[in-house]
Amino acid sequence: MNKNNYVAIMAGGIGSRFWPMSRTNYPKQFLDILNTGKTLIQSTFDRFSKFVPKENIYVVTSQGYQQIVQDQLVDINPENILCEPSRKNTAPCIAYISYKLAQLNPEANLICAPADHIILDEIAFENICLEAFKFTSNIKALVTLGVLPTNPNTGYGYIQYEPMNVGPNVYKVKTFTEKPDKELARTFVKSGDFLWNAGIFVWQIKNIIKAFETFLPEVHEVFDAEKDSFNTINESAAIEKIYPQCVNISIDYGIMEKAHNVYVIPSRFGWSDLGTWASAYETLEKDYLDNAVAGNNVMIIDATKNIIHADNNKLVLIQGLEEYIVVDTKDVLLICKKDKEQEIKEYVAEVKRNKGDKYI
């Protein structure tokens, strides 16, 4: 394994669309949403550890999740768990690991990936990642992995790329488009030159730092001012000082949509960002009535096209429902039409207004 290759697993989100399983104090990346026997972050760590040295895998998470990460990832060096004092989106998160690695290994080549994605074809994923590492080792490039779309999904961002490749399966990015409406998504998929934005990035540390300096100078300045504190006993104090000064912005808005050296690798590796219960429905196996069930003690009578998640020790019987989300936890039962899943965040806000934080 190449000692200059590193991974940053981004694991600070709260996954509110997966409520009531996902809670603020124990969000979806630490749950076994698909009933596989592994949590999402465990699957992500294991996937990367097959081709990146374990000592080079870092997790960037919220301070409140440090112990959960340590408990779930028994092979990670505790010093590789980086804790953010507040949520400031992906740009400050990526800046943290980047400026830290710059002090540790200036030749570092880094993949940044969310903790909660599903990758079904891990061999294809490994090959794509190694292709990306090879490209960014030789070119001053910011690379993103784009997934070949299988349908006009409106829940994903889209990447348009130039027709001529600049390397083996590597193309210059033309445009980024945030989540489109159905008609525009159909146009994108039909054109053949758009990809889903997987939110997985690859670059050399020195090149992403140059991009921060150019496009997010205010973020660069606060991290650069404290760079000598990284990898020392003063790192935590430095981060506490840095984060209140950081703008809340994604790496996509802050850098990727502005930079001119952005490339994409069209990919097919069984990807889902697992952002909603509907995406979990698409990933789970279905019964003969198209129900997706996570739970060993669920009975279904005259019900179809539902997703049901329940504790293995609890008998749950569903009759007559069609296209519903049913999630049963120890203190909350959610029964919601699948086509209303984008409103779950609003329902959570309503619960908070009426019941406080107890069920959030």
Beta carbons of 5 and 54 less than 8 angstroms apart: no
CB 325 within 8 Å of CB 335: yes
Q: What is the dihedral of CA 234, 237, 240, 246, to 10 degrees?
A: -40
> In angstroms, what CA-CA distances link 277 with 9, 182, 294?
22, 19, 12
Beta strands in the chain (DSSP E): 5-10, 57-62, 81-84, 109-114, 118-119, 142-147, 158-167, 170-177, 194-204, 262-267, 271-272, 292-294, 298-301, 307-309, 316-319, 324-328, 333-337
Q: How far apart are the first and last CA of the chain?
A: 42
- 264 and 283 belong to one structural domain: no
For residue 23, give the CATH number of its domain.
3.90.550.10
Q: Is residue 233 part of a domain?
A: yes
Parent domain of 344: 277-355
Describe the crossing of helices 217-225 and 205-215 by its angle, rounded to 10 degrees: 120
Residues 154 and 83 in one domain: yes
Q: Which of residues 250, 272, 294 is at a domain's end?
A: 272
65 and 84 belong to one structural domain: yes
Residue 222: inside a domain, yes or no?
A: yes
Same domain, 286 and 198: no
Does residue 360 belong to any structural domain of this protein?
Answer: no
163 in the same domain as 14: yes
Pairing of strands 142-147, 194-204: antiparallel
- Residue 182 DSSP one-character state: H
Q: Are 120 and 269 in contact (CB under 8 A)?
A: yes
Model confidence, pTM? 0.93
One digit per residue, the tens of pLDDT, for the chain of length 360 reads: 889 999 999 999 888 889 999 999 999 999 998 888 899 999 999 999 999 999 999 999 999 999 999 999 999 999 999 999 999 999 999 999 999 999 999 999 999 999 999 999 999 999 999 999 999 999 999 999 999 998 998 888 999 999 999 988 999 999 999 888 889 999 999 998 999 999 999 999 999 999 999 999 999 999 999 999 999 999 999 999 999 999 999 999 999 999 999 999 999 999 988 888 988 898 889 999 999 998 889 999 999 999 999 988 899 999 999 999 999 999 999 999 999 988 898 999 999 999 999 999
Distance CA 322, CA 246 (A): 46
Based on the fold, state whether residues 236 and 345 are members of the same structural domain: no
Residue 212 lies in a domain: yes
